[in-house]
Structures are given as C-alpha cells and as structure tokens.
Amino acid sequence: MKVLVTGGAGFIGSHLCEYLVSQNNTVFSLDNYFSGSFDNHIKGVDYLTGSTAQINEIVDFGVDIVYHLGEYSRVEQSFKDREIVLTSNCHGTYAVAEFCLKNSVKLIYAGSSTKFGDDGRGPDQSPYAWSKATNTQLVKNYGKWFGLSHAVVYFYNVFGGREISFGEYATLIGIFKERFKSNQPMEVVSPGNQMRNFTHISDIVSGLVLVGEQGHGDGYGIGHDDSHSVMEVAQMFSDSIEMLPSREGNRMSASLVTDKLKDLGWSAKVDLAEHIKEFKKANE
C-alpha cells in the first residue's frame, strides 16, 4: 500500500512508519517538526516537511490511506499554546479531512482519550481536549455528510522507545525514566491519585494497523486494561517522591473504550510494571 503518516517523525508516528516499511508498504511522512525529530527518521520512509494545513499543496500524489497523528498533544501546556493548538489541530485536521475526501482516501484519525475523562467533562477541560473532541466530531460528520471512509482511534498514555523525555512536551514515563537515570526524586503532580492506562508503543502500533485494515467509524480505543495512579507509577521507579502543585486540565480518570478493537482480535501485550523493572535493571 501507499501510506501517508502525518506526524511521522514523532514518537508514535515513527514507530508506525517503521512497522509499515517493514511490511513492504510505500510510506510517506508529513511533519512540521514541532515535536517530531530528525533523529526519528526511519530508513525507507519519504519525509515531507510542512504543516498539515498545507497538505493539499504539499502532497500532490495519490495514497491509499492516511494515518493522521500529526497534531499538538499536550494537555496542561495547551493553555499557554492555544494559538498553536487552533492552527495545528483545528485548521490542520480540516485540511486533512478535505484531502482524504477529495482523493477518496481512508482516514484514520487519532482522537484523544481525554474525551472520555472525568465522567464526560473531559472535552471542556483544556484547549487540547476541546480541539481533539471537536476534530473527532468533524471527521465523523464528514463520514455522515460526504461519505468519507474513516475510523477514529484513541490512545491511552503511550510509553516506550523514542518518547520525549525532556521539556514541556515530555511524557510522564519519559520524565520518570530520566529522573531515575540521574538519581533524582520522582515529581508527582498533586493529588497523585490520577488514574491512567499506560499502553506500550508496540500495542499502539498493532492497534493502529488493525484499525487501518478493518476498522470503520468511531470508538477504537487502544489502551491497556490495567490502570495505575500516577503515584503508584512513580513508586515503581523510586521511593523518593516530591509533590508538585495541581495543574489545570489534569484529568483524574478516563473511561477505557476498547471493546470495538478487541472485537477485531486486538489485546495489549506489554505490562508497564514489567517494562519498568527491565528499564531499572538496565540502568542501575
């Protein structure tokens, strides 16, 4: 197949590109390198530089499927970056939907599990969450109004190789790993009992590919069944804990919505606790 991955130089996108290339697909990446990295380039992928808002000008060739992962993806930071959120997420996803509609291409849209947070309050808890929930509705309506072939996936707290470990866009597990390696206490945002379903990147990729092949419509959550509090995860790394003030937009929980994907035969394989044990053993 001929596949386009937006955000293909990012954490999740690079792993998806790597797998797709290994299966002898022709793979293109469109990335503006806001959080993606040239270090994540995979041999055999054709990399295009630019914003998804310009997809119709940049991608002047046909593809069979688009995996749209290339969006801004941080909750708390989105309060400061609201202009970037609007430009990257809302304008970009509209352009991608139009590209797929015009070219009769199946669109796999990466929604956000923040949509399911805190008993339905999630979509209004941050600019990021709002933009993602709005985009999900846009993609679904393009299917309803115009017949766009699509499927919507939802990631739950992804971890694994190439995750961002430093700065404002780092993942929680990435931060904890770096603090462990430098013998620093784990920093936990109050109250610490926020629940998360941490899911390994290999399980995310297998879910994405399966939805690309067989999925249609909304509701394909890709998340591990086991949930852990942020405090519990910190304690898996170290007994030395420092509490940080609470942050706006930091949800307490999110419902796990994986039934549709499991009906296709998917299940998570990698356990967070075992992953951390192996990481600690390799870095002690």
pLDDT, averaged across the chain? 93
- In the CATH scheme, what architecture does the domain 2-158+200-224+255-270 have? 3-Layer(aba) Sandwich (3.40)
> What percent of the chain has a predicted confidence (pLDDT) above 90?
79
Query: Given this model, what pLDDT does residue 120 score?
Result: 61
Rounded CA separation 221/161 (Å): 21
Domain range summary for the chain, segments of one domain joined by +? 2-158+200-224+255-270
Phi-psi group of 169: left, alpha or beta (phi > 0 → left; psi -120 to 50 → alpha; rest → beta): alpha
Q: What angle do CA 168, 170, 173 make, to 5 degrees?
A: 145
* Residue-level pLDDT at 79: 87
pTM: 0.93
112-121, 138-147, 154-163, 230-239: least confident range: 112-121
The pairing of beta strand 65-68 with beta strand 158-159: unpaired
Please report where in the chains the tokens 């509209």 appear, as a residue: 94
> Model confidence over 74-120: pLDDT tens digits?
777 788 888 888 888 889 999 999 999 999 999 999 998 877 765 56
Burial status of residue 215 (CB atoms within 10 A of its CB: 0-12, 13-18, 19 or more): buried
Q: How far apart are CA 249 and CA 9, in angstroms?
A: 27
Place of tokens 């190439």: 162
Measured CA distances, 238 to 76, 160, 179, 227 (Å): 25, 19, 10, 19
Average pLDDT, integer, range 247-262: 85
Amino acid 168: pLDDT: 74
Model pLDDT for residues 3-24, shown as the tens digit of each residue? 999 999 999 999 999 999 999 9
Overall average pLDDT of the 253-263 stretch: 92
Query: In which band, very low, low, confident or very high, does the pLDDT at 253 lie, cut at 50, 70 and 90?
Result: confident
Average pLDDT over residues 138-154: 97
User: pLDDT digit string (tens) for 109-145?
Assistant: 999 887 776 556 666 778 888 898 999 999 999 999 9
* The pLDDT of residue 122: 64
HEC states along 187-214? EEECCCCCEECCEEHHHHHHHHHHHHHH
